[in-house]
A = this chain, B = another copy of it.
């Protein structure tokens, strides 16, 4: 996409954030990574929010001030010394900047605060364990001395999952505990330390013949939008899902075995493809979000990496209903699942065609001629992966189904336009927020029976607010249903207003019967809804497990998963 503008181009922020500034903490990803709105998107935004170029002259609340706050370290000097003795003094830090950095996730609420220099909860001490033995010693010490432990993997939590509500220490697993331990070509598994980041893992697997002497290249098949800034351990303890999950499965399905360090002891689950030896502790630990113990290593399934066989496709449908029906037919057709698979509702399609550069092209003209009208038409994009004969057959069947549902084939163009930027959309956030526009997301799992109800109820709430965009897509498919991923754009400055807005949407999801989260996890943000959602009997099961693993509540205490939440306001813990 060219970025030569015909009209006024706002001064998008284009340097690295000031060193040790608030901005360097809340900014997504690479300090020099940017994805600016293109001119079409910019015009649309001006339109929607009734803004003029003048509103885009000066950036506000950039957050470039150096981090400074007055929160004394809550640990005793003797405790700090004991921790230093375990991991080495070079692996601890009580520097203010470090304390804030490793206490912060990627919610818009945190960004709003940091832009204003407001510092909420911070850890007392940042600790970089070198290996599992360090973690064992740390957990033992902290359990004995009742020091809270928080774990920072990639730091991409969007629900306050690593908020150090009770101070204590934050373990940063990605600093040292980031190795590939073993690749088994026979078993098609990889064993890694939990702090390994997505790209390092994928790089190693893609180059397995050179690095491990394997016959084939491999992929982990897990590509969340946060891929570049999330860790393998984080994927599993928060139940993440990748953009190609419809074929490869969610993080939950990728895990063969795990090694945990908990106050109640340490263990490695067995490495079997399947077993019938009672309830699976391996599965019980998934989604525990740091409340049971520290995940230090894990063995994941891998898949043969055959990008040469990837097929791309795109279709435009006359309506959302047609897109939903076609995608359901695809998931239930028993010919194999596509990898990336994504349908956008009317509003997201409208923006997506601009964002991915389709708007105004020959495809757009063909669509208009054939009667696929803006704000009715809905986009589907996807890929198929695997053996060449499989990917060809999947694409062929999908094409056949989409035509039955009145769709027009758009070639692989849209999917190919989408692909290179697929991890980069979060970069848009800073540009818009520099001019007072927030963009945020919430997501839910739905059955096919319930998809329209949840979609409509959420839109009702969002659209009740004037000049607020609600872009929705479904992007993780199963024969039994899918997810709904909502992206909001609003002109909003006040944190209170934002929180109220968000609460209203979560209420709508809960009331209309969606899951409280499909793949973002619970953290603290969702915790006020969780007990009602699961029911008190199921919450009691989780609390019984918590009590078993962590009787002194040192593992991620203060609202996480709603386990120790009294009342609804975790912000006050």
Contacts and interface: CB of A to CB of B under 8 A. Distances in A.
A476 to B, nearest CB: 7
A546 to B, nearest CB: 10
A303 interface: yes
A516 to B, nearest CB: 5
A155 to B, nearest CB: 18
Contacts of A274: 241, 250, 252, 445, 476, 478, 483, 515, 518-519
Most buried by B among A240, A276, A530: A276
Given A256-B480, A281-B541, A284-B284, A186 B449 contact: yes
A478 to B, nearest CB: 4
Contacts of A283: 279-280, 283-284
A232 interface: no
A280 B272 contact: no
Interface in A127-153: none
A284 to B, nearest CB: 5
Nearest to A336: B336
A361 interface: no
B334 A306 contact: yes
A188 interface: yes
Contacts of A304: 332-334
B267 A538 contact: yes
Given A279-B286, A548-B544, A301 B480 contact: yes
Oligomer copy total: 2
A349 interface: no
A266 B537 contact: yes
Interface stretch (A102-110, A199-207, A386-394, A463-471): A386-394
Given A276-B287, A522-B276, A335 B561 contact: no
Contacts of A336: 336, 386, 390
A540 B278 CA distance: 13
B278 A446 contact: no
Given A284-B541, A481-B187, A545-B544, A530 B277 contact: yes
A325 to B, nearest CB: 10
A260 to B, nearest CB: 9
A542 B333 contact: no
Given A393-B393, A448-B186, A278 B272 contact: no
Interface in A525-554: 526, 530, 533-538, 540-542, 544-545, 547-549
A397 interface: yes
A453 interface: no
Nearest to A337: B336
Interface string A181-206: 00010111100000000000000000
A24 interface: no
Contacts of A270: 515, 533-534
Contacts of A533: 270, 277
Interface string A224-263: 0000000000000011110000000010100010000000
A328 interface: yes
Most buried by B among A274, A289, A518, A526: A274
A278 B522 CA distance: 7
A327 interface: no
A545 B526 CA distance: 25
A43 to B, nearest CB: 36
A482 interface: yes
A517 interface: yes
A282 to B, nearest CB: 9
A265 interface: yes
A272 B446 contact: yes
A509 to B, nearest CB: 11
B187 A447 contact: yes
Given A184-B449, A334-B304, A386-B335, A542 B278 contact: yes
A289 B278 CA distance: 7
Given A188-B448, A283-B284, 12 more contacts: A184-B447, A186-B447, A241-B276, A267-B538, A272-B480, A272-B518, A276-B520, A276-B521, A333-B387, A389-B397, A544-B545, A544-B547
6 contacts: A264-B537, A272-B447, A274-B483, A276-B445, A278-B542, A301-B480
